[in-house]
Structures are given as C-alpha cells and as structure tokens.
C-alpha cells in the first residue's frame, strides 16, 4: 500500500514538473518574465555576467531572446548550437546526441541552478556563452512562468488579454490644453468603442496625462508594458527607447525617416512645401519667378530643388519676413510669387500684402495664418488634412475628434482587424503595412509598405475667398 502511494506521488511529481511551474501565475508576473526574456529587463532590473567575469552585461546582451530566439526555440549561431528553452523543451529529459550529452528534465530548482551557476540537471557545466544570472525568487518565478507560454498561442504581447486590447495615448489632460486633451480622450474612447469587439477583444483606451513630463508619461505606458500600441499620442522627442511599441498617428510632425514601429499619417512639411511650389508654377503662365522667405536650411533647399524641377527660377532668398525686400526695387523684375517657409511670420507678410497692389501670389503653411483674418485671394495655403467647414466652427467642433486623431483610430482599428485573432505587435505592424489607399475621412488616404511608414505625402492647397471662407484648389495632391 505504502509503495503504491509513493509511486503515485512520483507520477504526480513528474506531471507537475512537466508543467510550467506556476500555471496560475498572475498576469503581472508573466509580464515581468517576458520583459526579462525579451528585453533583458529594465536597465538595473537584473544582473548578469559571463562566467568568470564581474562585468555586468547590458540588457541587449543579457536578453534571453537575443540568443535563444524570440520564441525560445533556439537554433544555430555561428556554429554554436543554442538549445530551446521553452518549458516544454526544458522539462523533457534529453537523449544523448553528437555534441550534446543527455540530461534529465529540468524542474524549478535545477533551472535556478542553471541560471545562477551554469550547471545543468546532469551536473554538466554549461558552455561559457550562456551568461550567469542573479535573479530574485520573484523574478525567477516570473521568468519560468513565461518560459511556459513563450512561443505558444498564449504568448500575448503586452496590453493583450483574452477579451481586451489596451491602447494608449499621452494627452494634455491637465494644464492650459486640458479642454482639448479631454475632448480628444472622449473622442478616442468613442472611436475605439464604436469598433466593437475584434476577434473577441474589446478595445480600451488607457490615457496618460502628459502634464509637464510627456516623456515620463510615454515611458509609463510603453516601457511599462501597459499597452499594446499607442495612437494619436503626444510623442516626446527622446522617446526612442520604447521602440518596439507600435505608434499610430503620433501628434508630431512627420520626420523624414520614421522609427521602425512608428506610423505617420500626414505629409512631412517638406512635401507640403514642394506641393505649394507645384501649385504656384501651375498657376503661372510663364516660367515661375519665385522668392523664398524664411530660415535657411534643408527646407529652403528642398523648395529651391522643387522649383528647379518645375522649370521655375528662384529670384530671391531672404530670412526676414519683409515683403519689400523681395519686390522692386529690391528685385527687378518682380517675382510672380513669394513662398513663406514655416517660421517666416506668414501672418505679417499677408498683412503687408494687403496694403500693396502687386499682382503677386503669397504662399505658405495654413497653420501660420489666422483663419478668418487672412482673406486676401492672392494667398495660397497648404494643409496636410482636409479643411474643416467655414471657419472651422461648426457646432460639433468641440466634441469632434481632430482629423489626425480620427484617422489614427481608423487606421489602427483596420490594422487590428487585418492582424487576425493572434494579437502580436509584429502582426499589427505587418497588417498596417498592407494598407493601400485606405480612406480616413479628413486625412489623406493611407498607403504603407514594408519599412515604408509615412502613410501619405499628399496635401491640399486652399485660398481664401473674400467672405472669410476658403476654397479648395483641386484635391489631394502629392508633389510632382
Ligand atoms: C549570450 C547568449 C545567451 C543568452 C543571453 C542566454 N543564453 Fe541560455 N544558453 C546559451 C548557450 C550558448 C547555451 C548552451 C550551453 C550548453 O549547452 O553548454 C545556453 C543554455 C541554456 C540553458 C540550458 C538548456 C539545456 O537544455 O540544458 C538554459 C536553461 C538557458 N540557456 C536559459 C536561458 C535563459 C532563461 C536566458 C535569459 C534569462 C538565457 N538562457 C540567456 C546562450 C545564451
């Protein structure tokens, strides 16, 4: 009888050992385990070094995924065989093979010893390529919990549970911008709620107050693994660390070279300026004579380059917002058009133009003029989004989502649908990269591709009419 009971205990023990140590593991623990596995933990979260040295390895070197693969399946690295470390692989006893001696299956205690001392369950010393880790008991539990799910269907990226996907936005919820930040939060919540449930998961917004430290708020959401992706969010300039979190439609100017997981929806300012040059050249019956007002630099160079492509001539290039400096007698004959770069006080130039009779076009970014004030029909303004109703003051304006945020929500929801039931950030990025001519309402149709994360280079050119309204010239256009 007693022997039977002992045999049964052994079987139970074997079954337990073959299972991930803590199946019931709290969500938070797995998140910490995943962080150590995928990223090597936070900067000072764990200590690891190669055997025989005390030099701390940086996260990028000590991350398990870096050597054993993102799914823990192992592989071959420069002639070195790297074993699989999914719990399934570790728990199974290994038969001997050439270059790899046999060992019993791992249990919690032998895994702890392998990580701390580099000794496997057969008592063999592991090759020096495997670092030594000093982990707290909690970290060890979290890590072995995660080894139980890595590479399986249950290996969900941060912010994803069986019935929910959490999406983040850093918004100005306090301070001078609070009213628009709060309206944006409500708008995003509504847009995500309206998407309903996607593969059984509802979308939930986690908004963080930018306060006076947007970078910290961004870090809390992104590096803190609170969300799956971010949308329509303020983006601190130095928030590059959390590069693996997809960001859709950041509330920031589109850079020439976006970071890998960032998706920008609006044309970079350079393309908008090039488009204006096309418009000015198109409206002039002879080769355009163009004067440029604004800071010297790459943007001014791009404008001059576009002018050359359009067969136009740059007749003046000044930095001060002074119309007299680019008109006769300073420049003879008079230019056909003056283009004001961002930062060139277009409002002031427009006021100077109003008091002159010249037959001249004045062009610049629409954000630089006060709507309703600049009513001169000689103005040409470029926008990266479709202009709102007359004066932009329709009754719903206070509650409506700004075009960029609405477009970000639409793009993200479409990406989540295309991603399918297995929610992974890599899957989302691939899904977004498949969008072609995706309509977004007030933002231009979006086109992404592999490594191509600027959704549109198109803008729209408008001119004021005499009643303070605006007239759209043509439709969405990208520069020639
Ligand atoms: C710099 C590369 C590198 C990193 C980082 C790394 N390992 Fe390893 N690991 C190896 C190599 C190489 C081996 C094979 C050693 C041998 O078999 O002699 C190994 C072996 C192992 C083994 C023994 C497997 C077996 O079948 O006996 C375990 C367990 C293990 N690693 C877990 C981890 C965990 C967990 C992490 C992250 C906390 C990690 N490793 C990080 C390179 C690495």
| Residue 10 in contact with ligand 1 by CB distance below 6 A | no
Per-residue pLDDT tens digits for 183-230: 999 999 999 999 999 999 999 999 999 998 998 999 889 877 889 999
Side-chain-facing half-sphere of 476: CA atoms under 13 Å: 17
Count of the separate structural domains present in the chain: 3
Cα 47 to Cα 55: distance, rounded to the nearest angstrom: 10
Q: Tell me if 391 is assigned to some domain.
A: no
Asked if residue 298 and residue 243 are part of one domain, the reply reads: no
Quickly tell me which residue has 């890599």 as its tokens: 426
Mark whether 15 and 40 lie in a shared domain.
yes
420 and 467 share one domain: no
Query: Same domain, yes or no, for 23 and 139?
Result: yes
394 assigned to some structural domain: no
Residues 358 and 465 in one domain: yes
Bridge partners, 61 (sequence order)? none
Residue-level pLDDT at 30: 75
The Å distance, Cα 72 to ligand 1 centre, comes to 10
Judge whether 209 lies within some domain. Answer: yes
Question: How far away, in angstroms, is 83 Cα from ligand 1 center?
Answer: 7
Report whether residue 201 contacts ligand 1, using a CB cutoff of 6 Å.
no
Ligand 1 closest atom vs CA 121: 27
- Compute the distance between CA of residue 151 and CA of residue 197 in angstroms, rounded to an integer: 25
Out of 149, 177, 196, a domain closes at 149
Q: Which domain holds residue 316?
A: 269-383+460-477
User: Of the residues 46, 59, 85, which should be mutated to test ligand 1's pocket, given the most ligand atoms within 8 Å of the CB?
Assistant: 85
* Pair 8, 116 in one domain: yes
379 and 430, same domain (yes or no): no
Q: Domain of 202: which CATH number?
A: 3.40.50.2300
- Is residue 103 within 6 Å of ligand 1 at its C-beta? yes
Whether 134 is covered by a domain: the verdict is yes
Domain boundary (105, 126, 149) is at 149
CA 74 to ligand 1 centroid distance, Å: 9
pLDDT in tens, 462-471: 999 878 788 9
Same-domain status, 371 and 257:
no
Question: What's the pLDDT at 10?
Answer: 39
pLDDT digits (tens, 9 = 90+) for 414-460: 999 999 988 889 899 999 999 999 999 889 999 999 999 999 999 99
Distances (CA, A) of 182 to 185, 207, 218: 5, 10, 17
Q: Is the CB of 130 under 6 A from ligand 1?
A: yes
One domain, residues 136 and 280? no
């Amino acid at each position: 009888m007693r022997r039977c009971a002992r045999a049964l205990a052994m079987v139970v023990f074997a079954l337990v050992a073959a299972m991930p140590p803590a199946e019931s593991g709290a969500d938070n623990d797995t998140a910490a385990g995943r962080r150590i596995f995928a990223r090597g933990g936070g900067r000072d979260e764990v200590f690891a070094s190669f055997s025989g040295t005390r030099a701390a390895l940086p996260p990028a070197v000590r991350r398990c995924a870096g050597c054993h693969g993102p799914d823990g399946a192992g592989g071959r690295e420069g002639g070195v065989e790297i074993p699989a470390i999914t719990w399934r692989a570790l728990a199974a006893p290994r038969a001997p093979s050439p270059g790899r001696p046999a060992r019993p299956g791992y249990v919690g205690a032998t895994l702890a010893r392998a990580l701390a001392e580099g000794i496997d369950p057969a008592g063999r010393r592991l090759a020096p390529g495997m670092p030594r880790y000093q982990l707290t008991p909690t970290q060890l539990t979290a890590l072995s919990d995660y080894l139980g799910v890595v590479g399986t269907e249950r290996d969900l990226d941060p912010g994803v549970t069986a019935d929910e996907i959490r999406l983040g936005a850093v918004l100005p919820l306090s301070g001078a911008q609070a009213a628009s930040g709060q309206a944006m939060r409500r708008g995003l919540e509504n847009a995500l709620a309206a998407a309903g449930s996607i593969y059984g998961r509802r979308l939930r917004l986690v908004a963080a107050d930018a306060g006076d430290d947007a970078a910290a708020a961004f870090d809390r959401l992104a590096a803190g693994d609170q969300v799956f992706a971010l949308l329509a969010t303020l983006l601190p300039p130095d928030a590059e660390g959390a590069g693996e979190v997809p960001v859709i439609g950041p509330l920031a100017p589109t850079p020439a070279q976006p970071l890998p997981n960032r998706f920008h929806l609006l044309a970079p300012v350079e393309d908008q300026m090039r488009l204006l040059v096309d418009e000015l050249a198109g409206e002039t019956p002879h080769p355009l004579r163009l004067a440029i007002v604004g800071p010297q630099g790459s943007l001014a160079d791009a404008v001059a380059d576009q002018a050359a492509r359009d067969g136009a001539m740059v007749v003046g290039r000044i930095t001060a917002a002074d119309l007299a400096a680019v008109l006769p007698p300073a420049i003879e004959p008079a230019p056909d058009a003056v283009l004001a770069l961002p930062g060139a006080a277009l409002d002031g130039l427009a006021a100077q133009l109003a008091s002159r009779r010249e037959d001249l076009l004045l062009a610049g970014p629409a954000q630089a003029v006060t709507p309703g004030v600049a009513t001169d029909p000689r103005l040409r303004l470029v926008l990266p989004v479709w202009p709102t109703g007359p004066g932009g003051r329709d009754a719903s304006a206070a509650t409506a989502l700004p075009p960029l945020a609405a477009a970000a929500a639409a793009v993200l929801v479409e990406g989540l649908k295309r991603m399918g039931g297995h929610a992974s950030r890599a899957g989302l990025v691939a899904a977004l990269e498949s969008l072609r001519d995706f309509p977004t309402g007030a933002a231009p149709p979006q086109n992404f591709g592999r490594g191509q994360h600027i959704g549109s280079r198109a803008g729209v050119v408008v001119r004021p009419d005499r009643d303070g309204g605006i007239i759209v010239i043509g439709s969405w256009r990208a520069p020639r």
